[in-house]
Amino acid sequence: MALAMSAAMTNACAGRRVAVLGGGIAGLTAAHELAGRGFSVTVYEIRGGVRGLGGKARSQYFRVGGHEVPGEHGYRFMPAFYRCLPETMSRIPRGATPVVDFRMPQPNSVADALVGLDRFAVARDNMPLGIIRREVPRTKDLPGLALTLGKLFHSISPRDARHMGRKLLAYYATGPIERAERFEALSFWDYMEADRLQPIARRLLESMPQSLVAMRASEGNARTLLDVLQLMMLDYGRPGSAEWVFPGPTTDVWLAPWVRLLVQLGVRFAQGPTQRIVGLEVDGGQVTAAHRAGAAPVEADLYVLATPLEGSQAILRASPTAVMGCSQLAKVLAIPSSATRWMVGLQLLLRDRDRPWTRGHVAFADSPWGITAVSQHQLWSHEHRQRITRAGGAGLLSLIVTEWERPRDSEAPRARDLTAPEIVREVVRQVASCRDLEQHPMLRADDVLAHHIDDDVRFGPRVEGNGSPLLIHPPGLWARRPSVVTGYDNLVLAGDYVQNPMDLATMEGANATGRMAANRLLDVVAHTPHDRAMVIADYQAEHVSPALRALGRASDLRYLRRRSNAPTPQPQPMPRDHDQVTHDLVTEAQSLQARAS
Ligand SMILES: Cc1cc2nc3c(=O)[nH]c(=O)nc-3n(C[C@H](O)[C@H](O)[C@H](O)COP(=O)(O)OP(=O)(O)OC[C@H]3O[C@@H](n4cnc5c(N)ncnc54)[C@H](O)[C@@H]3O)c2cc1C
């Protein structure tokens, strides 16, 4: 029966021409789901070749002594709470094996090769590296979370550790309604009352959002950040890997096999500068064409606008008739550039010895430029490690700089004002002020054999611009983001800036919108509710234990009844040490949890 229905739907879709505009994760996901179901899909992408696909997730390559070194746009990690992305990867064979049913997991898939991690590290100036391991026995409930927090805040004073721990616990005892209404409107900084903290604790707090996206603590909203941090902390209290990375460059180990599968499913790729989409034409409530920079207009039955925020804005500015009367397209145009920031990857090829630091990512919490890093050699397969060796390298550090405008609390220069070599020197200086596990500086200037900075950053010779800013999530942004569904039946939006249940600009969010876009077009064309791409309606509901959800529901009831029964805060004696902080947090968590019953 299911097969018969699938066949019927494939017939409804067969031959329908879909133009996917933009070949990033959102666009490739939509192409995958639609081509597999019988649509005739063409992806239009400015960048050429397989290496030009994948958008912000694509790898970048540089040459050292005649050898190619694989780099990244910025290193990739996938927390274990991701659902859509791993599911897509599980359906992509690593080799050229023909795929019989694109809906089914494949043997020897891209997902099978992912490398699981169970730790990350916080590096602080002049302190030994603090490694957080996934060893908390259970984080099903608030006391479990309190134990994780006790570990996380070891580098700050007991007073500040208690303050931050209590603020986080109080948030985790709230429910989705209050989060959406109150905490979405507050900045993370204000919610955490960060002005009350000592500088060392403030810097740790600032580094928390910046290790996720290029979001300053004072700019990102409390809900987006705390929800994601909660999901990550829960992963650190579960068996299995807390996060995943690739065993090689993203393009080689994921995107190239994906493109091979898409070609097998019949997807066509029109790539290069002439394929730049420059405008949309509409007539009678339908999109009738997408104009290209250097070729005849694209005419399709259905359109997926999967360009990034700034790309979609440029297209829509040139398409006033399409925007007129379509509130979702008007929303795209209304998102200010201040809702994006720069998050830029750079790689350092190391000369004589590798710097493995830890098998996980490292947040340099005191670095004025909000640096995070992964030491890649140890995580890559033999084949890709050899590429580093062939270029004369002993290791490859992949770093991300998230603060380009306002160095944090320091005399450090603005990254925006420098040349490429000056940026590299300053990055090395900031990393070198932290100590590894043997108490040695984590890096020395003469460790660096060669470097590569994200190709999207334009130098001339100083920094002139960045072609790929990333969405941050200021208070109130959620309501101002457009939805997948537009006022045009044959046009959908996809991309990390489009509303989706993973409320953080990530590959997971981009993938989710690609699926939602495909599902919407299936609704329009096939009028049957079966065989849709899997989407996650609510990551918290999926991931958070029933005990914690019950706590949130009870809290929401109180919130809705507007019962302000919060006890007046009593002055607290100064905690003696971190063990006492952890003990106090666990006690507080138990009493919060008890209120749910
Ligand atoms: C440095 C860095 C590190 C990151 N690390 C992670 C991570 O570890 N984990 C994670 O989950 N997320 C990470 N992200 C976020 C993630 O990469 C993005 O959210 C995601 O890749 C966005 O995908 P997208 O398809 O929405 O947009 P994009 O990746 O921007 O893709 C859009 C595509 O459209 C093309 N395009 C643009 N304009 C046009 C036009 N006019 N015509 C035709 N084509 C056009 C572009 O060339 C691009 O290929 C990181 C981001 C950055 C910047």
Dist. CA 329 → ligand 1 center (Å):
20
Dist. CA 302 → ligand 1 center (Å):
22
Average pLDDT over residues 30-48: 97
Dist. CA 28 → ligand 1 center (Å):
11
**What 3 state SS string does 541-596 have?**
HHHCCHHHHHHHHHHHHHHHCCCCCCCCCCCCCCCCCHHHHHHHHHHHHHHHHHCC
Strands of 334-379, DSSP E: 340-341, 344-350, 362-364, 371-375
pLDDT, residue 455, reads 95
Whole-number CA gyration radius for the chain: 24
- Cα→Cα distances 305→28, 70, 84, 292, 332, Å: 12, 30, 20, 13, 11
Q: Tokens 């391991």 identify what position?
A: 133
Dist. CA 309 → ligand 1 center (Å):
10
Which residue from 59, 205, 55, 48 is spatially nearest to 124, judged by alpha carbons? 205
209/22: higher pLDDT: 22
Model confidence at 50: pLDDT above 80: yes
The C-alpha atoms of residue 90 and residue 94 are separated, in whole angstroms, by 10
Ligand 1 within 6 A of 22 CB?
yes
The C-alpha atoms of residue 261 and residue 283 are separated, in whole angstroms, by 35
The C-alpha atoms of residue 354 and residue 352 are separated, in whole angstroms, by 7
**Residue 408 C-alpha from the chain's centroid:** 23
Model confidence at 568: pLDDT above 80: no
Nearest protein CA to atom 5 of ligand 1, as residue:
76
Model confidence at 527: pLDDT above 80: no
Lowest mean pLDDT among 187-196, 202-211, 441-450, 494-503: 202-211
pLDDT, residue 543, reads 85
Taken as a whole, the chain contains a residue count of: 597
pLDDT, residue 137, reads 56
Ligand 1 within 6 A of 309 CB?
no
pLDDT, residue 1, reads 39
Ligand 1 within 6 A of 374 CB?
no
Which residue from 190, 196, 183 is spatially nearest to 226, judged by alpha carbons? 183
Ligand 1 within 6 A of 223 CB?
no
Ligand 1 within 6 A of 23 CB?
yes
4/299: higher pLDDT: 299
Ligand 1 within 6 A of 473 CB?
no
**What 3 state SS string does 180-218 have?**
HHCHHHCEHHHHCCHHHCCHHHHHHHHHHHHCCCCCCCC
Ligand 1 within 6 A of 505 CB?
yes
Dist. CA 470 → ligand 1 center (Å):
8
Helix ranges, 97-187 (H): 142-152, 158-172, 176-181
Dist. CA 514 → ligand 1 center (Å):
12
- pLDDT bin (cut points 50, 70, 90) of residue 309 is very high
Query: Are the CB atoms for 305 and 492 separated by under 8 Å?
Result: yes
pLDDT, residue 596, reads 57
> What's the one-letter identity of residue 356?
P
pLDDT, residue 4, reads 45
Substitution site in 317, 506, 513, 539 for ligand 1 pocket (most atoms within 8 Å of beta carbon): 506
Model confidence at 11: pLDDT above 70: no
Average pLDDT over residues 211-239: 85
Model confidence at 6: pLDDT above 60: no
Ligand 1 within 6 A of 44 CB?
yes
Average pLDDT, the chain: 91
Q: Tokens 């991300």 identify what position?
A: 400
Query: Are the CB atoms for 35 and 25 separated by under 8 Å?
Result: no
Return all residues near 13 (Cβ < 8 A) that are at least 6 apart: 34, 37, 38, 39, 522, 525, 526
User: pLDDT tens, 234-270?
Assistant: 887 777 888 999 999 999 999 999 999 999 999 999 9
Which atom of ligand 1 is found nearest the CA of 494?
A: 26
Give me 577's structure tokens.
């040490």
- CA pseudo-torsion sign 303, 309, 314, 318: positive
Lowest mean pLDDT among 84-98, 345-359, 518-532, 552-566: 552-566
Is the omega angle on the peptide bond into residue 461 within 30 degrees of 0, that is, cis? yes
Ligand 1 within 6 A of 72 CB?
no
pLDDT, residue 128, reads 85
Ligand 1 within 6 A of 311 CB?
yes
Return all residues near 255 (Cβ < 8 A) that are at least 6 apart: 28, 50, 53, 54, 57, 58, 59
Dist. CA 25 → ligand 1 center (Å):
7
- For residue 245, what is the enclosing H or E element? strand 243-245
Model confidence at 511: pLDDT above 70: yes
- pLDDT bin (cut points 50, 70, 90) of residue 562 is low
The C-alpha atoms of residue 490 and residue 512 are separated, in whole angstroms, by 19
The C-alpha atoms of residue 35 and residue 26 are separated, in whole angstroms, by 14
Query: Are the CB atoms for 242 and 236 separated by under 8 Å?
Result: yes
Average pLDDT over residues 288-317: 98
Ligand 1 within 6 A of 77 CB?
yes
Q: Tokens 């789901």 identify what position?
A: 33
User: pLDDT tens, 113-142?
Assistant: 999 998 889 898 888 898 888 765 566 678
Dist. CA 76 → ligand 1 center (Å):
12
pLDDT, residue 2, reads 41
Model confidence at 168: pLDDT above 60: yes
Ligand 1 within 6 A of 510 CB?
yes
Substitution site in 53, 56, 470, 503 for ligand 1 pocket (most atoms within 8 Å of beta carbon): 56
Query: Are the CB atoms for 465 and 437 separated by under 8 Å?
Result: no
What is the number of alpha carbons within 13 Å of residue 492 lying toward its C-beta? 29
pLDDT, residue 153, reads 83
Average pLDDT over residues 444-457: 96
Pairing of strands 17-21, 40-45: parallel
Query: Are the CB atoms for 150 and 165 separated by under 8 Å?
Result: yes
Average pLDDT over residues 370-382: 95
pLDDT, residue 237, reads 75
Query: Are the CB atoms for 405 and 219 separated by under 8 Å?
Result: no
- pLDDT bin (cut points 50, 70, 90) of residue 433 is very high
Topology of domain 1-46+272-336+481-532, per CATH?
Answer: FAD/NAD(P)-binding domain (3.50.50)
Domain ranges of the chain: 1-46+272-336+481-532, 59-134+240-256+341-469, 143-207+223-238+540-594
Give me 326's structure tokens.
């379509």
Return all residues near 446 (Cβ < 8 A) that are at least 6 apart: 351
pLDDT, residue 597, reads 55
Which residue from 450, 378, 114, 384 is spatially nearest to 248, judged by alpha carbons? 384
Lowest mean pLDDT among 33-42, 83-92, 403-412: 403-412
Ligand 1 within 6 A of 360 CB?
no
In the chain, % of residues over pLDDT 90: 72
For the domain spanning 59-134+240-256+341-469, the CATH number is 3.90.660
Model confidence at 10: pLDDT above 70: no
pLDDT, residue 573, reads 66
Instruction: For residue 271, list its beta bridge partners.
Output: 45
Lowest mean pLDDT among 26-35, 358-367, 387-396, 553-562: 553-562
- pLDDT bin (cut points 50, 70, 90) of residue 561 is confident
**What 3 state SS string does 258-283 have?**
HHHHHHHCCCEEEECHHHCEEEEEEE
Average pLDDT over residues 18-22: 98
pLDDT, residue 408, reads 84
